[in-house]
Amino acid sequence: MIKVLVVDDHQLVRVGTSRLLDDVDSLDVVDNAENGEEAIEKVRSLDPDLVLMDIQMPGIGGLEATRRCLRINPDLKVIAVTVHEDEPYPSKLFKVGATGYLTKKANVDEMVRAIKQVLTGQRYISTDVAQQLALRPFSQDQASPFAILSSRKMQITLMVIMGHKVTDISERLSLSPKTINSYRYRIFEKLDVANDVGLTKLAIKHGIIDSEAVA
């Protein structure tokens, strides 16, 4: 049996996905987690074969959680399951070691297909996301400015636009407040914004986060 951990900050999504996958032969949903920190602890304690990981969650978020889970078990397979279809999310997730990328529009058949494919050592990308990635070289004027950020800068960007204070980010990432502020200013400089408000507005404009999430 393939042991699966479902990670999402919405209970209905966690429970719904778990129940759907429990009906699939060869898959065993061993547990679920509501944030990245909990996912890391359950990867340590339950040793799943595969994690279905949401990206945008309170706390460290799915990007950093993926990185840390793979440090615990380099053989773990992680499939990102998210509402985000656009860059820079797919590239960032694959860069830190995820092996699959699904949008939440996917049905259970596609999810099972993705799971089976990544377990054979291949990557899986939702068709709609793959199409956008394929077209990206022909539409550089439409490219997200966030694509130039490193994985660490993108992680801190997400935490800032979700309203986390410097001290909170510092504690969660085990970095000094001075280091977090240095990252923030370099992010501002790269994206040509003046402050957190400007960063948030740019993120909304490019679909990194929706306006309701920061209302």
Indicate if 131 and 148 belong to the same structural domain: no
Q: Would you put residue 115 in left (φ > 0), alpha (ψ -120 to 50) or beta?
A: alpha
- Partnered with residue 77 across adjacent β-strands are 50
Indicate if 122 and 148 belong to the same structural domain: no
Name the helix (H) or strand (E) containing 101: strand 100-103
Indicate if 101 and 153 belong to the same structural domain: no
- Total residues belonging to the chain: 215
The domain tally of the chain equals 2
> For the segment 196-213, what is each residue's pLDDT rounded down to a tens digit?
999 988 888 876 665 554
CB atoms within 10 A of CB 23: 8
Q: What is the pTM of this model?
A: 0.67
Helical ranges in 30-142 per DSSP H: 36-46, 61-72, 89-96, 108-119, 127-135
> For the segment 49-90, what is each residue's pLDDT rounded down to a tens digit?
999 999 888 888 888 899 999 999 999 999 999 887 666 778
Report the C-alpha gap between 153 and 181 in whole angstroms. Answer: 11
Q: What is the DSSP string of 120-144?
A: TT--EE-HHHHHHHHHGGG-GGG--
Indicate if 115 and 210 belong to the same structural domain: no
> For the segment 1-34, what is each residue's pLDDT rounded down to a tens digit?
899 999 999 998 889 989 888 888 889 999 999 9
